[in-house]
Structure 1
Amino acid sequence: MRTGLVLDVRAQGARGDGIALDGPVIAAALAAAHRAGGGIVLLPPGIYRSFSLQLPSRVTLAIETGATLLAAMPGPDGGYDLPEDRGPQLYQDFGHSHWHNSLIWAEDAEDIAIVGQGRIDGQGLTRNGPGTPWSAQRGERPLSMATMAPADVARLEQDAAAMRGQGNKAIALARCRRVTIADLTIFRAGHFAILASEVEDLRCTGLTIDSNRDGIDLDGVRRATVSRCRVNTPNDDAIVLKTSLALGRTTCEDVTIEDCSVSGYDLGTLLDGSHGRTQQRSPDRDRVTGRIKLGTESNGDFRRIHIRNCRFARSRGLAIESVDGGVIEAIRAENLTMDEVTTAPLFLRLGARLRGPEGTGIGAIRDIAVHGVAATGIDPRFAAILAGLPDHPIEGVRLSDIDLRFDGRLEGAFPAAPPELADAYPEPSMFGPTPAWGLWARHVRGLAATDLSLRRSGADPRPPILLDDAGDARIGFDVDAPHRYHIVHSNST
């Protein structure tokens, strides 16, 4: 049971001057609060340099207004906790496979919180780390990286030996229960600002995250809410749900993302309010990211996910991807606004990368409802995309009240029938410019679209809608084009 204990780290000997290493004092206070049965460890105004801190059960770390917990640079006075020795981690990258090599980490903890109006600054964290040792390597990287020189890839994916003493996450949680992370600002947080793996009853609310890679990653969580968060991540995903094999096969269930904004502005410019647009591409050489996504890691199932009242700005849009055998079902997305969509506003992909143990089969995507999307400034190359596989269609997608406005005109050629690319890494750009400019659905069953409005500002030779092997589709739409839509290899009506 949590006590009324409050430990001010200044009173415990921390200096808060941004020079002294205050981590040992903070760690001792966290341990003392735990021994006392619970309590609050308070960081008053100041700058507190630290390496790894373990957050134990029934303890709250409170970072006050004017206080910064600063991730120290590894060097003569120390480094981050070593990544756990957990044997071969074959099917997910290094970042997903370890938690201790973080600024704040918790494992098997209960009733914990990190709160306050202060800041976490990941100055000393790295965004890098090796990829998976998965032997097949199909679909390991986006196709947009295919032309990168090995040296350029190596700079992004340092080997495991180079990561010893490095920290690559601001907050990492493994198998925790009843967790609150609230009201903080997190800046340049490394690979993940927050990685929550197999966490139950998680609440992330009121956060402002402006980071150099992923924002909030929920991997196999159950009963989680992300609300009133602003997440800016030009180089990777902003809020993403996953089911990797890092802790065994898990499910992601009963998650709500609401009243959030995600973006791909220049790093730091969400915090200073300038919303910079200098950076044009992410490290994968596609346009900036900053989106909400289910996947790419999808070894387990996703059920009962609700995304509502969210804003996307300078973002790749909403992505729902099963490529590693998981079933994605009972997904609801509603009341979404998107401005300056850098690839496709909506991307549903059922693929067969199958990064997993022998016998991993193709998963499913079904029972998806998207209602109330208003998107402007969409990259004219990419329609809203629903792409299943032959004999493995996406099933039961309902689109309603969808208003998509595409900016400019298509430049260059487009494939009339893109290859299937079943085992490729899923990204909207994987097929090249889509063969329709507004909505392209291939290998889909039971698609229903009502009140679908498509607009564009430039001429385009492609049809606005193309349905390919999309049985039983029902489309009700308003399109600013003299022709309607095309159906190929389908009994759609």
Structure 2
Amino acid sequence: MASPSFNIRDHGAVGDGIALDSPAINAAINAAADAGGGTVVFPAGTYLSFSVRLRSHITLHLESGATLLAATPAADFGSYDPILPNRWGDELQYQDFGHSHWRNSLIWGEDLTDIAITGLGLIDGLGLKRHANYPHVTMATGPNGTAASGSAPRPAPSAAPSLTQGNKAIALKNCRNVILRDFSLHRGGHFALLATGVDDLAITGLTLDTNRDGLDIDGCRRVTITDCTVNTPNDDAIVLKTSYALGELRPCEDITIRDCHVSGFDLGTVLDGTFGRTTERSPDRDGPTGRIKIGTESNGDFRRITIDNCTFRRSRGLALETVDGATIEDVTASNLTMQEVTNAPIFLRIGNRARGPEGTPIGQLRRVVIRDITADDVDGRFPIILAGLPGHPIEDVTLANIRVTSRGGITMADVAAQADTHVNAFFLRGDEPGVTGPRDPFTVPERERGYPEPSMFGLLPASALYARHVRDLNLRNVTVTINHPDERPPVVLDDAPSVTFVGGNLTP
């Protein structure tokens, strides 16, 4: 039996983009919930809205031509739902504030079962802001809005603003059996989707073209992301995280990402089909982001992750990062095509930011297979990078059937002459000595507490592969072609026992 439908216009929605329709939308949701569940229908029109509050057994269905438009708070108009305190995000700052709050969003739901957002309509976060008015504790920020390494909390202004800004398009916390299907989303604020502690989540057929992160999957289990297009020039497109936002070490496990397309074109230009290229740097001053990543928030473990048959365009490469104590294991990435790669095509990192409870250990990264990868037009500064820490190696990694074409063009004098002014300042830490002048080109700083990005080390002394603190690395049919003369040796191995090379070509 089909679930009953509840048309938001029957509950007073106008749909002219001027009248505030969120009271009518929430009335329709409440009517459906009171009836035991149903589908809340958005017919064609533009529905200006503050917070939409999901309830269990409810589907929001945006018909073709329907737009849910995020409103801008005003004293005589309204604002988003209040931000509730979260001691794991306010007092202790184990992750940035945006990861720690859900209700200051265009659509939010907490502790729900059997919910969905479907249809061919559009969610437009025009009125959302990257930084909401956080009324509790703020911190100095690092890349992508995270707390800068080593920064201390500073008091928020004594008088909190009376209007709550919205900074996420969709936020879900502790939900079960969730479907997100077919809709498009433009300008999602801090996150187009923040899913925290969500189990049995199916995301398919979405087109996201957004300001910062696209799909943030934080401490979720049994997730499939298929046939999605995600454009995020200023942050990550699809990213798995395990923050401490719920006050527990919750893993990300049994995740499949398949048949997806990620990119870093100008905001809005994937939706309109123009694929603009004017944005040359993301806020952390590296090239456009738009990638698939595991980490940076990495308190809980990551297990059984599959990434298959995806494309990366004008974006950074694949990144696996544990810096807050997590174990990342049993990851398979295959059949990836990358074009115009703005930093390393493959980046594996163990760090020791240790943003978590006292005693947070150094994490582990092991049992990773990356195969059948083609990466063209890679920024010549960046080889494939695998970087563990002394006594904490990356373990049991296979790179197979990989073809990389790099621009090259770096000299050993370039490497030797660099100072910290050549390294992204976001990735430096005050208690780690910096480089003040020329250095031995083969002396690379560890930067164990730094924010993990390929540029954190500056220019590396290898053109094709740099592997440090790595054990049991197997390379089969890995070929790197350098388009412009590069004086660096193709491969540098440092504290890397048990490396096997079979086939391929890593010579310039």
TM-score (norm 2): 0.89
Equivalent-residue separation in structure 2 for 1:160 and 1:476 (angstroms): 64
- Describe the superposition over 1:212-255 as per-residue Cα deviations: whole angstroms up to 9, x where unpaired: 10000000000000100000000000000000000022100000
Does residue 1:438 correspond to 2:464, yes or no? yes
- Note if contact 2:81-2:105 (Cα within 8 Å) is conserved in structure 1: yes
Match status 1:141 vs 2:142: yes
CA distance in structure 2 between the aligned counterparts of 1:92 and 1:144, rounded to whole angstroms: 10
Cα 1:144–1:465 shift into 2, 3 Å: farther
Q: How does 1:358-377 map to 2 (within 5 A)?
A: 358-377=358-377
Distance apart, 1:452 and its partner CA: 0.4
State the 1:5 CA deviation.
1.2
Q: Following TM superposition, by how much is the alpha carbon of 1:343 offset from its aligned partner in structure 2, in angstroms?
A: 0.5
Alignment correspondent of 2:38: 39
2:92 is the counterpart of 1:93: no
Give a deviation string over 1:25-71, Cα, whole Å, max 9, x none: 00000011011000000000000000001110000000010000000
- Distance in 2 between the 1:161 and 1:464 partners? 55
Deviation at 1:318, TM superposition (A): 0.4
1:349 maps to amino acid: R
1:265/1:314 contact within 8 Å kept? yes
**1:486 matched to which residue of 2?**
none
Contact 1:89 1:133 in 2 (8 A): no
Q: What is the alpha-carbon distance in structure 2 between the residues aligned to residue 290 and residue 161 of structure 1?
A: 34
Deviations 1:371-429 (A, max 9, x none): 11000010000001000001000000001000010024126611322101111010010
3-state DSSP of counterpart to 2:455: helix
Which residue matches 1:119?
A: 122
Aligned length: 471
- Shift in alpha-carbon separation, 1:145–1:108, aligned structure 2, 3 A: closer
Counterpart secondary structure, 2:177 = strand
1:449 aligns with 2:475: yes
Give the CA deviation at 1:86. 2.2
Given that residues 94 and 129 in structure 1 are in contact (C-alpha distance below 8 angstroms), is that contact kept between their aligned partners in structure 2? no
SS of aligned partner of 1:471: coil
* Matched position secondary structure for 1:27: helix
SS of 2:11 mapped into structure 1: coil
Distance 1:178 1:303 in 2: 20
Write the letter of the residue equivalent to 2:496: A
Query: Following the alignment from structure 2 to structure 1, what is the Cα–Cα distance between the partners of residues 51 and 122?
Result: 16
Shift of 1:435: 1.3
Partner of 1:308: 308
Partner of 2:400: 400
User: What corresponds to 2:438 in structure 1?
Assistant: none
- Kept after mapping to 2: 8 A contact 1:83/1:164: no
Does structure 1 residue 109 correspond to structure 2 residue 134?
no
Q: Distance in 2 between matches of 1:145 and 1:30?
A: 34
1:5-20 alignment to 2 at 5 Å? Answer: 5-20=4-19
Distance 2:464 2:160 in 1: 47
CA 1:269–1:464 in structure 2 vs 1: closer, same or farther (change >3 Å)?
same
* Match status 1:391 vs 2:388: no
Distance 2:252 2:19 in 1: 41
Output the CA distance in 2 between the equivalents of 1:377 and 1:292.
18
Q: Equivalent residue for 1:413?
A: 414
Q: From the superposition, tell whether residues 167 and 196 of structure 1 become closer, same or farther in structure 2 (CA, over 3 Å).
A: same
Q: Quick one: structure 1 residues 162 and 367, their matched pair in 2 at CA, closer, same or farther if it must change by over 3 Å?
A: farther
Q: Is the 8 A contact 1:265 1:275 kept in 2?
A: yes
- Alignment gaps of 5+ in structure 2: 416-440
Partner of residue 27, structure 1: 26
Change (3 A) 1:146 1:177: closer
Task: State the AA in 2 paired with 1:300.
Answer: G
Contact 1:168 1:190 in 2 (8 A): yes
- SS of the aligned residue for 2:245 comes to coil
* SS at 2:484 equivalent: coil
Inter-CA distance 213–110: structure 2 relative to 1 (3 Å threshold)? same
User: Which has the higher mean CA deviation after the structures are superposed, 122-131 or 345-354?
Assistant: 122-131
8 A Cα contact 1:143 1:425, kept in partner: no
Q: Would the alpha carbon gap of residues 158 and 456 (structure 1) be closer, same or farther in structure 2, given more than 3 Å must change?
A: farther
Q: 1:127 Cα deviation (Å)?
A: 1.2
Change (3 A) 1:159 1:318: farther
| SS of residue paired to 2:308 | strand
Displacement of 1:13 in angstroms is 1.7
Query: What is the correspondence of 1:323-362 to structure 2 with a 5 Å cutoff?
Result: 323-362=323-362
Instruction: Spell out, residue by residue over 1:1-39, the C-alpha distance to the aligned partner (whole angstroms, 9 max, x if none).
Output: x96210111222211011110110000000110110000
Partner of 1:422: 448
Structure 1 unaligned spans of 5+: 483-493
| Cα contact 1:142–1:430 (8 A) shared by 2 | no
d(CA) in 1 for partners of 2:396 and 2:453? 21
**Contact kept in structure 2, 1:129 and 1:163, CA below 8 Å:** no
1:145/1:342 Cα in 2 relative to 1: closer, same or farther (>3 Å)? farther
**CA distance in structure 1 between the aligned counterparts of 2:137 and 2:395, rounded to whole angstroms:** 33
Counterpart Cα distance in 2 of 1:90 and 1:110: 29
Retained in 1: the 8 A contact 2:306–2:333? yes
Aligned Cα root-mean-square deviation (Å)? 2.4
1:322 and 2:319 matched: no
What's the % identity of the aligned pairs? 55
Whichever residue aligns with residue 295 of structure 2, its letter is: G
Secondary structure of residue in 2 paired with 1:470: coil
- Output the amino acid matched with 1:456: I
Partner of 1:209: 208
Equivalent-residue separation in structure 2 for 1:160 and 1:96 (angstroms): 23
Q: Report the TM-score, using the length of structure 1 for normalisation.
A: 0.91
Moved more, 157-166 or 44-53: 157-166
Contact 1:144 1:430 in 2 (8 A): no
Other-structure match for 1:485: none
SS of residue in 2 equivalent to 1:447: strand
Deviations 1:258-280 (A, max 9, x none): 00000000001111111111110
Match of 1:475 among 482, 501, 505: 501
Of 450-459 and 121-130, deviating more is 121-130
Residue 476 of structure 1 deviates from its aligned partner by: 2.4
Using the alignment, how far apart are the partners of 2:131 and 2:332 within structure 1?
33
User: Residue 163 and residue 258 in structure 1: after superposition, are their counterparts in 2 closer, same or farther (change >3 A)?
Assistant: farther
